[in-house]
Structures are given as C-alpha cells and as structure tokens.
Amino acid sequence: MGPRTQLSRRRALASISALAGAVAGCTGGDSEDATTPSRTRTADPTATAPRSTEATENPDERAALIDAIDSEAVAIDPDASADGLGPVATRLAQSPIVGIGENSHGVSEFKGFAHRLVRRLVADHGYRLVAIEGTIGDFGPVDRYVAGADVDLDAAMGSIEFYFWRTDAIRRLFEWLREFNAGRPATDRAVVRGYDAQFFDVNATAVRSYLERVDPAYLDGIDERLMPLTRPLYERHDADLLTEARLDLLDSLGDRLRARRDAYVAETSTAEWRLARRHVRTLERGLRFQAALRAERYTQGKRVRDAAMAENVSWLRDWTGADRAVVLGSTNHTMRNDGSGEAARMGQHLADEYGDDYYSLGCLFGTGRFRAPTGPERTAFGTHDLEGPVPGTLAATLVEAAESSLFLDFETARRRAPIDGWLDDTSQVGVSVPRAADRGAVPLPAAPDAVYDGVAFVRDVTPASFASEG
C-alpha cells in the first residue's frame, strides 16, 4: 500500500504550524531540549484537570463530557487475553503503520497491552514487522529466535540495550511470535527489528562482523579505526566522537560496500549486504547524535535521532517486504508534533511520509506506581509514585470515566461536541521521566489530538519488573 496524503483537520493544522515555525526560525534552539517535560506541577496532583473554558466549572457540561466519553470509549482489560482487543485492533488496522507509544517505560500494564495488541494485529490483520525502540541490529538475536533458530531467548533479550523491554510480557510476545512463525514461509513470518540510532557500537560491531566474513583483508586495513567504535565511547567524557578520521572511515566503508557489492552478495545475500549498508548509515547517525549530546545541543541531537528512527522504520518496511508494521517505543518518539516548534519527532516524520497511513496511539496512565533505574548502570530499580493524574491532561478527565481501562479513537469520538471541545482545549500530556523519577508524573506540553490519533488509558497502573534487576 502506498502512502496516503489525506490529513485530518488537526494533523493539517499541526503541519501548517510546524512549517510556520520552521520558516520563522522557531524550531527550538540547540542549547536545550525543547521536548523536555516540564517538572513543575501547578496544582494538586490528585485534582481533576481544569479546562480552559467555563464548561469545566459547569457541572452539567462536565457530566455531559463524561457521558460522551463513556459512550465512545471501548473498554479494555489490560490483564485479559488478546481476544478482548479485537475492536481496538480492527480500528488501528485501518492504517498499515501503527505507532504504540508508552507514556512511561516503567508501567506493567503498558507492556501487557502492547503484547496482546501486537498479537491481534499480527494474527488478524497481517502485520509482519514488529519494530521496537532499540538500535537497528539490537534485536537481531531476538529476530533469529522468533524465526525458529536455535537461540536462547534469555540470552537474546539480555543483549538488548534498553532495559525496559526485558519484561515477562515482552518475553511472552516473542515466544508467541515464534509459535506464530512455525511452519510459515519466510515471506509470511513476523520479524522483530530495532529502529533506533542511539548506540552506534551496535552498528559498528555488526559492520565489523560482516567484513570478517566477506572481506577480512580490507578489515585488517581499517580495523585499527573501526574497532574503537565497537565500544560505548559515549560513556567516556574524554573520547572524541565525530572526527574527520571517523568520517573518512565511514566514507571508505560506504564506497567499499558499493564497489564490492557483487562479491559480497555472492558470499552472503542481497539482504545481508543491504543490512550492512544500513548499519554504516546508522553508525554515522549515532555518532552525530552522541556528539550533539556531548556538546549539550540536545534539540539538535533529538532532531538527528528521531529523523534516523523514521528513516530506519521506512527502510525496514522495504527491506523485510512488510507493508504493515507495528512500531513500539516511547510516546516522545511515536507521537507527532503539535506545531509548537520543537525538533520533529519520529511520528511526525512518519506522518509526513505516510499521511493517515500512520496511526499514533498513546498509552496514558491515571495514577499508581512505576519503576525506574536508580543509577546509570540500569541494573537496580526503584518504585515511584506517579501522583497523577497531571492536571490539565486527558488523563485528569479520563479518570472519571466509567471504565477503568479504555481505548478512545479521536476521529470517531470527535463527532460528539463535548469531546470535540475537550480535545481542542487540552494542551499537555502526562509522562514519567526516568531521570526525574522522584517527581512522578510530569506534564509534557503537547496538544493530544495533534500528536495522537487515539489513546489507551489505564486508571491505576502498577510498576513493571525487569529481568535485569539485581
């Protein structure tokens, strides 16, 4: 299915606002991260969100809003089987690319919801690419496992850079995908791949491994320069990341892969050759991202990273031949921009490329607890209170809904005037930030209907448990 260019009303407005901001030079400075959530709470965190119109203070209109939400919402049970998510999957399947964004990586219910929803999308609606936030190549061992290879799943998951995917629910998803793939032709199997560009050592290691197989003589000549990139140099404050010598190395790698294409393909395959080229491209993007962070140009770094994420998702669809893809990650990547001028998120890039063929789903919490790392090693974790819902967010109203867990599709729900006005008047979402875990839920400035097409909401959430703990 090719990209659709039709845009909803709010997406069109967001695109126009973003373009205007870019023309005016207001896309965010390099000295700060324009997407960093505010850490200031302006009201009692347990209070119901105020709306910007007098309708909030009118009990009758407030009741009409809650009644409208109850009528439009689809009840979901985050602890039930995948069978209970049929209506949600059917709605999402109208778009071939579905982004599922967690507003907290430390919530158990979000992992279970993603597990069950992905199962429905794969089994019932033909989704075959499961793209997960993680450096491209990072999920290679997991993909070999789900394809039926003799791979230890615990070891495969242990190699994943991001701790927040090492949960029991995600493990069960991988087990189910392996069962689903059994007996299927390669062209109809579900694949699991990372799409991020954050940890360039993953890419450098993959490139080096490929050259060991196809061109060891060439590797001998460049290994002194390539080998250091297989280590996490971004963890060292004294390491130069983006040097002229490194850029020359990347050019040399690209030229060699192009010049020796036929010989390399004969030794491996066209798919592996293309993947090696993608690793070189992502290695360069990762170096630029980490160099921007080192220089404290956070907005520039996010701009590089999210653009690379979207580029990799599009490349993975082509490389795997999977027209329909599920994209799992942080909501700060999967959601679109709302025209406020910050660096374009991955979701915005995908919306620009695919239009309404991209569906942005946000996973929202009301209150409860979440887990977050206690140190940079990310092997010890603490439990924190969200102290939500954050005032002024959708969640602050959704906590009053009859269903404690629900799905709300905005395009459908906007047919009701109370919901239409509510969505227009809301300008932030609640998230948790690992580096500010002690603050609980914090507001992220973003107009929900501009950044999401729908939300899955859980009123009371519980902390996730990670396999890397201890």
pLDDT tier, 340 (very low <50, low <70, confident <90, very high otherwise): low
273 with 319: CB under 8 angstroms? no
Average the pLDDT over 344-355 and give the result.
97
DSSP string over 284-323? HHHHHHHHHHHTT-HHHHHHHHHHHHHHHHHHHHHHHT-S
Q: Is 59 helix (H, G, I), strand (E, B) or coil?
A: helix
Q: Is 30 helix (H, G, I), strand (E, B) or coil?
A: coil
pTM here is 0.88
Q: Is 463 helix (H, G, I), strand (E, B) or coil?
A: strand
Q: Check whether the bond before 185 is cis (ω within 30° of 0).
A: no
Average the pLDDT over 179-185 and give the result.
98
- Least-confidence region, from 12-16, 173-177, 306-310, 369-373: 12-16
309 with 325: CB under 8 angstroms? no
Count CB-CB contacts under 10 A for residue 20: 12
Both tokens of residue 406?
A: 């629900």
**Per-residue pLDDT tens for 440-453?**
999 999 999 999 99
| pLDDT surpassing 90 at residue 52 | no
**Per-residue pLDDT tens for 268-310?**
999 999 999 999 999 999 999 999 999 999 999 999 999 999 9
What lies within 8 Å, CB to CB, of 269 at 6+ separation is none
What lies within 8 Å, CB to CB, of 194 at 6+ separation is 131, 132, 133, 134, 135, 136, 137, 138, 139
Average the pLDDT over 318-336 and give the result.
98
pLDDT for the residue numbered 396: 95
| Cα 348-352-354 angle, rounded to 5 deg | 110
pLDDT for the residue numbered 338: 78
Amino acid letter, 410: F
Identify which of 351, 455, 363, 352 has the alpha carbon closest to the alpha carbon of residue 97. Answer: 351
Identify which of 74, 104, 57 has the alpha carbon closest to the alpha carbon of residue 410. Answer: 74
pLDDT for the residue numbered 84: 83
52 with 425: CB under 8 angstroms? yes
Both tokens of residue 147?
A: 């394809």
Average the pLDDT over 164-177 and give the result.
98
Average the pLDDT over 52-56 and give the result.
40
The CB-side HSE value for 299 (13 A sphere, CA atoms) comes to: 14
- Return mean pLDDT, the chain: 88
pLDDT tier, 83 (very low <50, low <70, confident <90, very high otherwise): confident
pLDDT for the residue numbered 1: 43
Burial of 466 (0-12, 13-18, 19+ CB in 10 A): buried
pLDDT for the residue numbered 341: 67
Q: Is 161 helix (H, G, I), strand (E, B) or coil?
A: coil
Q: How far apart are CA 100 and CA 364, in angstroms?
A: 11
41 with 391: CB under 8 angstroms? yes
- Least-confidence region, from 169-178, 225-234, 251-260, 402-411: 225-234
Q: Report the run of H or E that residue 408 belongs to, with start and end.
A: strand 405-409
pLDDT for the residue numbered 239: 74
317 with 130: CB under 8 angstroms? no
Q: How far apart are CA 131 and CA 129, in angstroms?
A: 6
pLDDT for the residue numbered 238: 66
Question: What are the backbone dihedrals phi and psi of residue 84, each rounded to the nearest 5 degrees, phi first?
Answer: -75, -5
Q: Above pLDDT 70, what percent of the chain?
A: 86
**Per-residue pLDDT tens for 136-165?**
999 999 999 999 999 999 999 999 999 999
pLDDT tier, 236 (very low <50, low <70, confident <90, very high otherwise): confident
DSSP classification of residue 166:
-
Average the pLDDT over 362-381 and give the result.
92
pLDDT for the residue numbered 181: 99
Cα 448 to chain centroid distance, Å, stands at: 16
